[in-house]
Chains A and B, each alone.
Chain A
Amino acid sequence: MENTVTITIASGKGGTGKTLVATSLALSLPEGVQFLDCDVEAPNSHIFLNPQWEMEVPTGLVVPRVDESVCTACGECNRVCEFKAIVVIVDKVLVFDELCHGCGACTYICPVDAITEIEKPIGVIRKGSARNGIHFLQGLLNIGEPMATPIIRRLKKEASPVAKITLRDAPPGTSCPVIESVEGSDYTILVTEPTPFGLNDLKLSVGVCRELNVPLGVIINRADVGDAGIHAYCREEGLPILMEIPLIREVAEGYANGVPLIDVLPQYRDRFQELFDKILKEVRHG
């Protein structure tokens, strides 16, 4: 899109400051930012942006149900299921909902059309508005449900495609939920900390962004603790360091209470605006 930009804030290691950065960036930009909390397993951005919830959309996964009066127990569904979610034992078909990916292969293959699909709820999408005109969207995975990715996929679908600026707060790690969160964004900010754990996981995240072909920059949080490994790595790899945030007691206290960084240190508003302008320039002109 010409006039829209989507920036994802991610990190391999958890607890490095993704939400700290994402929420203050959203508050530093012009009104009307669309904010997606894609950490559907452990979402925290709402604690800082305190949205007024306006809507809740249940999100489900389609799973098969077998009509036993039609089923011939031929075993075709069992054969095609890659996830062992539908199993035929003697003349009975068993469905394991928690293993099902909702791909529809069993429904497609069933020769006697004995399979229909129902939507099983696995989480919700919540929408609301927060200060600075932020359109806030959050996905929340139900406790006990294993699959986060369908909720993130749905969250992205629920988002407005014409919003000028969209920020996505990603989950930690490097596997499917992270890929779903980063995929389709114009730029990714990787937040890290200058420790061996931070460095190890930053390298993995850089790998993800490169695989997905998404340009990236690095923010170093708690920049004055730990060692110099992150700087050396970024230099070697030619990765831009967009910002360094020192360990400041007031910021940590604010964080503990759900107070955004820029409310504690208002001078960071300008720094976040500059950072955004720089990213926008890179996204638009390469």
Chain B
Amino acid sequence: MAEAKTSPRQLTIISGKGGTGKTTLTAAFAQLTENKVMADCDVDAADLHLILEPTIKKSVPFYGGRNPVVDLDACTKCGVCTEVCRFGAIHDGVVDLFACDHCALCAHACPEQVIKMEDAHSGDWFVSETRFGPMVHARLGIAEENSGKLVTMVRKEAMEVAKKGSRSWIIIDGPPGVGCPVTASLAGVDKVLVITEPTLSGIHDMERVLSLATHFNIPAQVCINKFDIHLANTRQIEAYCLEKGIELVGKIPFHRGVIEAMVNGKTVIETDVPEVAPAIHQIWERVMGE
């Protein structure tokens, strides 16, 4: 492809509401798109690897923030740290790491200088090979913070891999919601594909995530998953997109074969789920085609 010489283009797939089919769609796109790198940016509940079965080539520890470590023998329990901490995370030199914001104010304020900040290993990121090409993904440690920072790491590495291999696309599986890891998944991408479902919750969250795309000035397209479970709501989504001038790129019907494919670790394209595979193929053509 001609673009390969320039910067790779980036597509992020998001939904606002969880469980609308982001990863299923991303895995199908992984198979359909030539010459791309996959990036799983849902770092705190990553699932794409369950379908793409990556072989890890490189594993790098992720240090998200620093933790305060108190020398309890030297601590005089003067209470200054407790007083300055806005997160109620330190009492008598004992740190509650779940409440801690890792801001280091306690360390700066300690008159005895007995609090040291130490790098916290809060996850790992990986460069892998899959049957559909390279993939960059991550695992955030249980109950760890800084998922946005880890998303940024994954994207940076995916860009490296893409540039090195002269690849034309980076396809990003985004996290649910609209907060920090989502904004990190969206920053600077070329386009966003929003996958929603015809439920009032799905519509509510789709509207929020579309506002976010607008906020960042990123062109967005919409597709509807399981559109036939509620036709009236599907029509509502269609009307919404029409009104807002957002392109609706396709509708995917409900089919139990989608879950079977997932159970077998296959994409819906590989198992050729009736009606679903052709619908996704069409969506893919409209998203990647121009």
Query: Which A residues are closer than 8 A to B by beta carbons?
Result: 12-16, 19, 39-42, 44, 47, 80, 82-83, 101-105, 108-109, 141, 143-148, 171-179, 183, 195-197, 200-201, 204, 207-208, 211-212, 225-227, 252-253, 255-258
Residue of A nearest to B85 (CB): A103
How far apart are A136's CB and chain B's nearest CB, in angstroms?
A: 16
Count of A-B contacts judged by CB separation below 8 Å: 187
Q: Which of B156-164, B179-187, B277-285 contacts A (4 or more CB under 8 A)?
A: B179-187
A148-B177 CB under 8 A given contacts A143-B215, A211-B143: yes
Decide: A211 near B104, CB < 8 A? Known: A102-B86, A173-B175: no
Once the chains are docked, how many angstroms separate the CA of A141 from the CA of B201?
16
Which residues of the partner chain B approach A255 to less than 8 Å between Cβ atoms?
Answer: 199, 201
A201 and B178 CA atoms in complex are apart in Å by: 20
Cβ contact within 8 Å between A13 and B45: yes
The stretch that binds A, out of B18-26, B125-133, B242-250, is B18-26
**Is B229 part of the contact surface with A, judged by Cβ < 8 Å?**
yes
Q: How far is the CA of A143 from the CA of B177 in the complex (A)?
A: 10
- What is the CA–CA distance of A168 and B144 in the complex, to the nearest angstrom? 21
Beyond A108-B84, A195-B259, whether A172 also contacts B47 by CB under 8 A is no
Contact present for A197 and B47 (CB under 8 Å): yes
List residues of B (193-222) whose CB comes within 8 Å of A's CBs: 198-201, 204-205, 208, 211-212, 215-216
Interchain CB contact under 8 A, A173 and B45: yes
Taking the closest CB of chain A, its distance from the CB of B101, in whole angstroms, is: 5
On chain A, the residues within 8 Å of B176 by CB distance are 14, 41-42, 171-173
Interface size on B, residues (CB 8 A): 63
A212/B183 in contact, CB under 8 A = no
Binding site for A on B (CB under 8 A): 16-20, 23, 43-45, 47, 50, 65-66, 84, 86-87, 98-99, 101-105, 108-109, 117, 140, 142-148, 175-184, 198-201, 204-205, 208, 211-212, 215-216, 229-230, 233, 256, 259, 262-263, 265
Bound Cα distance A44, B45 (Å): 20
A105 touches B105 (CB 8 A): yes
The reply to whether B143 and A41 contact each other, CB–CB distance below 8 Å, is no
B154 CB to closest chain A CB (Å) equals: 14
Q: Would A179 and B204 be within 8 Å (CB), given that A173-B176, A195-B263 are in contact? A: no
Which residues of A have CB within 8 Å of B148? 146
Contacts of B66 in A (CB 8 A): 82
Neighbouring B residues of A196 by C-beta, 8 Å: 47, 50, 262-263, 265
Contact residues in A for B175 (Cβ distance below 8 Å): 173
Chain A residues in 8 Å Cβ range of B230: 253, 256-257
| Contact B19–A15 (Cβ < 8 Å) | yes
Q: What residue in chain A is nearest B183 (Cβ atoms)?
A: A146
Chain B hits for A178, CB < 8 A: 44
B108 A109 Cβ-Cβ under 8 A: yes
Q: Which of A19, A47, A177 contacts B179 (CB 8 A)?
A: A177
Smallest Cβ-Cβ distance to A211: which chain B residue: B143
CB proximity of B188 to chain A, nearest CB, Å: 15
Which residue from A171, A183, A204 sits with its C-beta under 8 Å from B177?
A: A171
Measured between beta carbons, the chain A residues less than 8 angstroms from B205 are: 42, 44
Q: How far is the CB of B228 from chain A (nearest CB, A)?
A: 11
Q: CB-CB < 8 A to B47: which residues of A?
A: 13, 196-197, 200-201
Which residues of B have CB within 8 Å of A141?
A: 178-179
Asked if B86 and A82 make an inter-chain contact with CB atoms under 8 angstroms apart, the answer reads: no
Assess the A101–B103 pair: CB atoms within 8 A. Answer: yes
Residues in A neighbouring B16, C-beta threshold 8 A: 41-42
Q: How far is A10 from B109 in the complex, measured between Cα atoms in Å?
A: 37
Given contacts A41-B179, A44-B17, A197-B50, contact A82 B108 (CB under 8 A): no
- Other than A44-B205, A103-B105, A108-B108, give 7 A-B pairs with Cβ distance below 8 A: A105-B103, A105-B108, A141-B178, A146-B183, A147-B179, A176-B147, A196-B262
* A47: B residues at CB distance < 8 A: 200-201, 204
The one of B17, B87, B198, B256 that contacts A225, using a Cβ cutoff of 8 Å = B256
